[in-house]
Chain A
């Protein structure tokens, strides 16, 4: 492999039912920075059926080129077809860096493509940078269950690939009318020759737990101990009209579903207000919430790592202070709404 032949920064653009998934646009934002540093094009890889039109939006969000393969066999994501299509593009156009959103399908695809083209892949990264002189991609991620951060390099293979957590990178401000080049490619696969078939896709109309869009999250950690503690946290969330989040320990203890989990193996959130209650602050968790606008942490341990990423901290027993908070908020918010002329139920 002559790695000098490989140039350009690629972003896999995931679409679902013809709608762009946010993480692709976020990665164009991060990719723009890498491409500018390396003085190369930023390219979007767009696969699907009837998706070509989406290219314009990709140009507005920073792409210089979009490689499109529009074919009925690509209508729904399948490893089999997408791996073939992307593998062919990589072999033909030779990008030096290729990033994918760390969604279910993005991770699935990246893993398959890495083996298909025999290159290195770093999973679930949260920081991307590049050593311009060596043209070396520096993809960093929490490692070992989030106990430490590590930068992973891929020196001798190309493309240098990584999956990136949704919500970690920032979209650029769209520039209406920004133009780019569309390069159309084809795929040589017939439906009858394929071994897999998507029979049905079921999307929950409304997510039971929507942490990503919540303005306020009240999150529980190991310190809330048991069901009684969790109920107490729920009560506070209730009075604040907040969504309940949780650390991995709480989910694994069975106190709530995985949908509530914030962190490396859960979701990444950026609410206006994040209460961390009894959460020690392992990177596993903080990587998923550190970008929240205001973080208030409550923990009995004055040395808990959560205080390092928080804006306000209280060393207190959650079992004492949380019920007080719930009560105070109940009183305060009730008065507030009545002043505003809206009856409080």
Chain B
């Protein structure tokens, strides 16, 4: 079973800082990492490969340094990695991104079939989760999003059953193969990479394609030109009047007492519930 995993290198948004003067992101303030959800997608692909055979191929779009994220996937156990990298891809929104990746996927499919496509639930720098379903639509295969468990795969019968997380529960859905899954973190634990993988990753050099390596590309659908959405303006999060500070010269006991009396003024919070306790 050949599995393709689409991954993205992202700035670690937990650390990234905003330049307060320009309202732009200071990308140098955050290290680039493999999108955490994508690591789970690769892990799942490797797990399925161990059961069903085949290979795990990783695909990404990004600047040349995104090769590092692909190497990280090789560390987790991916067999091959491809990066599409070209200035003409730059500025892509989710629609243009799914188009570019789809074009690369077509090329990969010409070389080898693909039975299953995996993506992370979303990338932590955009939080949209739109690229995976977009790719599925372009490939004309079913997208199964928010997957927390692969229940069953039958490559011979071309069938897969997965558990999808939905509000307040889950559903089990069956699909024909090939299809595309976007995975949640709950799907697995990303294991520590065995030493041979680490050595292989260190030496591994992902294959880089430019637009010219892809076939029948409609240039109008690429990058900024192919992106229907644009950023209108950016602003720092709203600042309200701010909190009324209870300082009491730093006397913690007094501060605590003040909070307690403030809270107890909201009597309705406690009176109705007295009997339930």
A positions within 8 Å CB-CB of B: 16, 21, 76, 78-80, 83, 103-105, 107-108, 110-112, 114-116, 118-124, 138, 142-157, 195-204, 207, 215-216, 240-241, 248-249, 252, 258, 264-265, 272-273, 283-284, 286, 294-297, 305, 307-317, 320-321, 324-325, 328-329, 332-333, 336-337, 340, 342, 344-345
Interchain CB contact under 8 A, B134 and A325: no
* Bound complex: CA A203 to CA B168 (Å): 6
Contacting residue for A115 out of B138, B236, B270, B273, CB 8 A: B138
Contacting residue for A305 out of B169, B229, B237, B260, CB 8 A: B237
Contacting residue for B266 out of A142, A198, A272, CB 8 A: A272
Contacting residue for A122 out of B146, B167, B229, B247, CB 8 A: B229
Residues of B169-222 contacting chain A, CB below 8 A: 169-176, 179, 185-186
Interchain CB contact under 8 A, B137 and A83: yes
**For residue A127, which residue of chain B has the nearest CB?**
B238
* Bound complex: CA A36 to CA B230 (Å): 25
Interchain CB contact under 8 A, A145 and B95: no
**For residue B233, which residue of chain A has the nearest CB?**
A151
The answer to the question of B57 belonging to the interface, with a C-beta cut-off of 8 Å to chain A, is no
Q: Which residues of chain A are near B257, meaning CB under 8 Å?
A: 328
* Bound complex: CA A312 to CA B261 (Å): 12
Number of interface residues of B (CB under 8 A): 88
Known: A104-B167, A112-B137, A196-B173. A144 touches B125 (CB 8 A): yes
Q: Which residues of chain A are near B250, meaning CB under 8 Å?
A: 315-316
Query: Knowing that A145-B14, A284-B13, A308-B242 are A-B contacts, what are 4 other residue pairs whose CB atoms are under 8 Å apart, sorted by A's residue number?
Result: A195-B175, A241-B276, A273-B263, A332-B264
Interchain CB contact under 8 A, A79 and B252: no
Shortest distance from the beta carbon of A284 to any chain B beta carbon, whole Å? 8
> Quick check: which of B39-47, B108-116, B158-166 contacts chain A, the rest being far away?
B158-166
Q: Which residues of chain B are near A114, meaning CB under 8 Å?
A: 94-95, 130, 134
* Bound complex: CA A155 to CA B134 (Å): 20
* Bound complex: CA A328 to CA B137 (Å): 58
Interchain CB contact under 8 A, A145 and B255: no
Interchain CB contact under 8 A, B231 and A321: no
* Bound complex: CA A265 to CA B240 (Å): 23
Interface secondary structure of B, over-half rule: mixed
**For residue A143, which residue of chain B has the nearest CB?**
B234
Q: Which residues of chain A are near B165, meaning CB under 8 Å?
A: 104
Shortest distance from the beta carbon of A140 to any chain B beta carbon, whole Å? 8
Q: Which residues of chain B are near A241, meaning CB under 8 Å?
A: 273, 276-277
B positions within 8 Å CB-CB of A: 11, 13-14, 16-18, 23, 25, 93-95, 98, 124-130, 132-134, 136-138, 142-146, 161, 164-176, 179, 185-186, 227-240, 242-247, 250, 252-253, 255-257, 259-260, 262-264, 266, 268-271, 273-277
Interchain CB contact under 8 A, B247 and A307: no
Interchain CB contact under 8 A, B273 and A149: no
**For residue B26, which residue of chain A has the nearest CB?**
A147
**For residue B128, which residue of chain A has the nearest CB?**
A123
Interchain CB contact under 8 A, A207 and B176: no
List the 4 closest A-B pairs by CB distance, nearest first.
Answer: A145-B13, A120-B228, A313-B243, A111-B133
Interchain CB contact under 8 A, B173 and A147: no
Interchain CB contact under 8 A, B127 and A264: yes
Known: A80-B142, A114-B94, A196-B144. A148 touches B25 (CB 8 A): yes
Contacting residue for A150 out of B95, B233, B270, B271, CB 8 A: B233
Q: Which residues of chain B are near A248, meaning CB under 8 Å?
A: 14
Known: A150-B234, A195-B176, A199-B161. A296 touches B259 (CB 8 A): yes
* Bound complex: CA A155 to CA B224 (Å): 13
Known: A120-B95, A286-B237, A310-B243. A107 touches B129 (CB 8 A): yes
Contacting residue for A340 out of B233, B243, B271, CB 8 A: B271
Known: A104-B145, A241-B276, A321-B252. A314 touches B246 (CB 8 A): yes
Known: A199-B173, A204-B168. A328 touches B129 (CB 8 A): no
Interchain CB contact under 8 A, B260 and A329: yes
Interchain CB contact under 8 A, A216 and B146: no
Q: Which residues of chain A are near B235, meaning CB under 8 Å?
A: 148-149
Interchain CB contact under 8 A, A108 and B276: no
Interchain CB contact under 8 A, A115 and B16: no
Interchain CB contact under 8 A, A104 and B233: no
Contacting residue for A215 out of B98, B132, B168, B269, CB 8 A: B269
Known: A155-B230, A202-B169, A202-B170. A79 touches B143 (CB 8 A): yes
Q: Which residues of chain B are near A108, meaning CB under 8 Å?
A: 133, 143, 145-146
Interchain CB contact under 8 A, A314 and B259: yes
* Bound complex: CA A69 to CA B32 (Å): 46
Q: Which residues of chain B are near A307, meaning CB under 8 Å?
A: 242-243, 245
* Bound complex: CA A202 to CA B171 (Å): 6
Interchain CB contact under 8 A, B164 and A104: yes
* Bound complex: CA A75 to CA B41 (Å): 30
Known: A145-B14, A272-B266, A328-B256. A153 touches B230 (CB 8 A): yes
Q: Which residues of chain B are near A310, meaning CB under 8 Å?
A: 242-243
Interchain CB contact under 8 A, B142 and A296: no
Interchain CB contact under 8 A, B234 and A201: no
* Bound complex: CA A83 to CA B164 (Å): 18
